[in-house]
Amino acid sequence: MSDSVTDYGIVLVTTSSPEEAKVIASALVESQLAACVTVIPVQSIYRWQGEINEDQEWQLIIKTRLELFRALSDKVIELHSYEVPEIIALPIVAGSQAYLNWIGENVRLNKC
Amino acid sequence: MSDSVTDYGIVLVTTSSPEEAKVIASALVESQLAACVTVIPVQSIYRWQGEINEDQEWQLIIKTRLELFRALSDKVIELHSYEVPEIIALPIVAGSQAYLNWIGENVRLNKC
Amino acid sequence: MSDSVTDYGIVLVTTSSPEEAKVIASALVESQLAACVTVIPVQSIYRWQGEINEDQEWQLIIKTRLELFRALSDKVIELHSYEVPEIIALPIVAGSQAYLNWIGENVRLNKC
């Protein structure tokens, strides 16, 4: 499998509450920065200011075009309650063409 | 870390019910198109035919060889209730060799 | 979006119990092999020694620098109850710089 890369990816974001997850997910879909957002309740263990913490969080898995990452990131930061929210993108290297087309039809074009 | 890529990847699929998730997951493992499938209940927010929708879904995380993506995709489409199911692959860039070998031993070879 | 790759990635590990998930997650964060670990209860369908099995597991999503993969993998194997635990890394191709910096500040440098 060549290390082919598509124009698409998933973006991971965590939030502090299901309400915050829904606000951010809905805003991303409504503003066509994402075609679909999946939300999962999770438990997070992390280091913050030198201390090990454990909190319940909500994991968003955001399906989009990777060229929208900057605009998507700005929208998440605008809405998010954290000082430094998780916003990381993973590459989609293969996909059913019908599904990738569906993502493409449901997100805005990136006007550079 | 060089952008090394292995022959392996994870494939993400969502289904409308836990039963559908189990049927598809079992079929993929039994037909050696996947070595392991993890299933997670999720909430999905998405745009379909211009409307924002929210539904419960089940997220499959499928561990396989990326060269099997086309055959795996065909099997999912054959069994799936959606018109356009999510079928997207992410690349594994590093892995415990014993685990990657285990995936390799439990999926079929791709006869091109 | 060029197939740019950052030095960061997520590592997926599954465990047999929430206690094992917490022991491994805490050890990785305390030893600065990971900045954050997210834990999710999942259902896994897999082939083991020729049989199809279904078990409850716990999925760890570990955020780290990819150059630490070998040391992280060794630590998981040291603590894990499985003979062949899942330890696979996916590449982060884009991220909020503040978040990537936070990962970098909370994991050790890899002394080669």
Q: Which helix (H) or strand (E) holds B30?
A: helix B18-30
Report whether B104 contacts B65 (CB < 8 A): yes
B-interface mutation test, from C10, C39, C47, most B Cβ less than 10 A away? C47
Q: Where are the beta strands (DSSP E) in A17-108?
A: 36-48, 51-65, 88-91, 94-95
Domain spans in chain C, listed from the N-terminal domain onward:
8-105
- Backbone dihedral region for residue B81 (phi beyond 0: left; psi -120 to 50: alpha; all else: beta): alpha
Report whether A34 contacts C59 (CB < 8 A): no
The answer to whether the Cβ–Cβ distance between B94 and C77 falls below 8 Å is: no
Residue C1 predicted with pLDDT over 60: no
Question: How far B18 CA lies from chain A's nearest CA (Å)?
Answer: 15
Task: Enter the CATH code of domain B8-105.
Answer: 3.30.70.120
Residues of chain A in contact with residue C106, where contact means CB-CB under 8 angstroms, are 46-47
Shortest CA distance from C45: residue in chain B = B37
Residue C30 predicted with pLDDT over 70: yes
How many cross-chain Cβ pairs, B to C, lie less than 8 Å apart?
91
Contacts of B70 (CB under 8 A, 6+ apart): none
Of B1, B29, B61, the CB nearest to C52: B29
Contacts of C111 (CB under 8 A, 6+ apart): none
Task: Enter the CATH code of domain A8-97.
Answer: 3.30.70.120
For A51-78, write each residue's pLDDT tens digit: 899 999 999 999 999 999 999 999 999 9
Parts of chain A with a pLDDT under 70: 1-4, 111-112
pLDDT of residue C111: 59
Shortest CA distance from A50: residue in chain C = C106
Which of A6, A13, A56 shows the shortest CA–CA distance to A34?
A13
For C98-108, write each residue's pLDDT tens digit: 999 999 999 99
CA distances C4 to B44, C27, C64, C93, Å, are 28, 31, 17, 6
For C61-82, write each residue's pLDDT tens digit: 999 999 999 999 999 999 999 9
For B66-109, write each residue's pLDDT tens digit: 999 999 999 999 999 999 999 999 999 999 999 999 999 999 98
